């Protein structure tokens, strides 16, 4: 909560807004299947780790490959995904870095069918400021059903 103390060049509300908008845009890219733009929201060597995966996905090329495969699979099955991130708590760790701890839910809707919850998760991010905005340096997604 002591965001302003640690990042005096930016108000804490402004920082919180930036993270909320970043998350909105980032997940909308993924849900639209824009996987290269999605990967570009990670640092070049960004890490996507998840308790549902045996190994972390490391680097933009690997993130593109992984997200591209998932996107093609969902498209083939006619399912629209929606990633909701919420309950965001952030802590700065220097002027250009922060950690965020939030909840993420994945909703899925098949064409002509009912919307449902695919997974409820905890999302723990380390974000760094890039030239054009925030980037994910490290993300850990913990699915609630697997813990």
Query: Is residue 110 left, alpha or beta, with left meaning phi > 0 and alpha meaning psi from -120 to 50?
Result: beta
- Are the beta carbons of 68 and 60 closer than 8 angstroms? no
The dihedral formed by the CA atoms of 30, 33, 38 and 40, expressed in degrees to the nearest 10: 180
How far apart are CB 29 and its own copies at their closest, in Å? 10
- Are the beta carbons of 144 and 121 closer than 8 angstroms? yes
Q: Which of residues 61, 69, 89, 94 is near its own copies by CB under 8 A? A: 89
- Are the beta carbons of 132 and 143 closer than 8 angstroms? no
| Burial of residue 98, with CB atoms counted within 10 A of its CB: 0-12 exposed, 13-18 middle, 19 or more buried | buried
Q: Which of residues 96, 107, 126, 130 is near its own copies by CB under 8 A? A: 107
**Residues between 35 and 74 with contacts to its own copies, criterion CB under 8 A:** none
Q: Which of residues 47, 90, 98, 127 is near its own copies by CB under 8 A? A: 90
Q: Which of residues 58, 74, 109, 129 is near its own copies by CB under 8 A? A: 109
4 near its own copies, judged by CB under 8 A: yes
Within 13 Å and on the Cβ side, how many CA atoms surround 71?
18
24 near its own copies, judged by CB under 8 A: yes
7 near its own copies, judged by CB under 8 A: no
How far apart are CB 62 and its own copies at their closest, in Å? 25
Residues that bind its own copies (CB under 8 A): 1-5, 11-14, 16-18, 20-25, 27-28, 80, 82-90, 101-103, 105, 107, 109-120, 132-133, 144-147
């Amino acid at each position: 909560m002591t965001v302003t103390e640690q990042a005096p060049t930016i108000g804490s509300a402004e920082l919180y807004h930036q993270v909320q908008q970043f998350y909105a845009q980032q997940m909308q890219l993924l849900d639209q299947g824009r996987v290269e733009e999605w990967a570009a929201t990670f640092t070049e060597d960004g890490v996507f780790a998840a308790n549902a995966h045996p190994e972390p996905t490391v680097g933009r090329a690997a993130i593109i490959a992984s997200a591209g495969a998932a996107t093609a699979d969902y498209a083939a099955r006619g399912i629209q995904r929606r990633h909701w991130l919420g309950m965001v708590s952030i802590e700065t760790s220097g002027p250009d870095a922060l950690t965020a701890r939030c909840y993420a839910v994945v909703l899925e809707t098949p064409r002509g069918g009912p919307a449902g919850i695919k997974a409820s998760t905890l999302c723990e991010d380390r974000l760094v400021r890039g030239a054009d905005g925030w980037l994910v340096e490290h993300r850990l997604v913990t699915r609630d059903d697997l813990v």
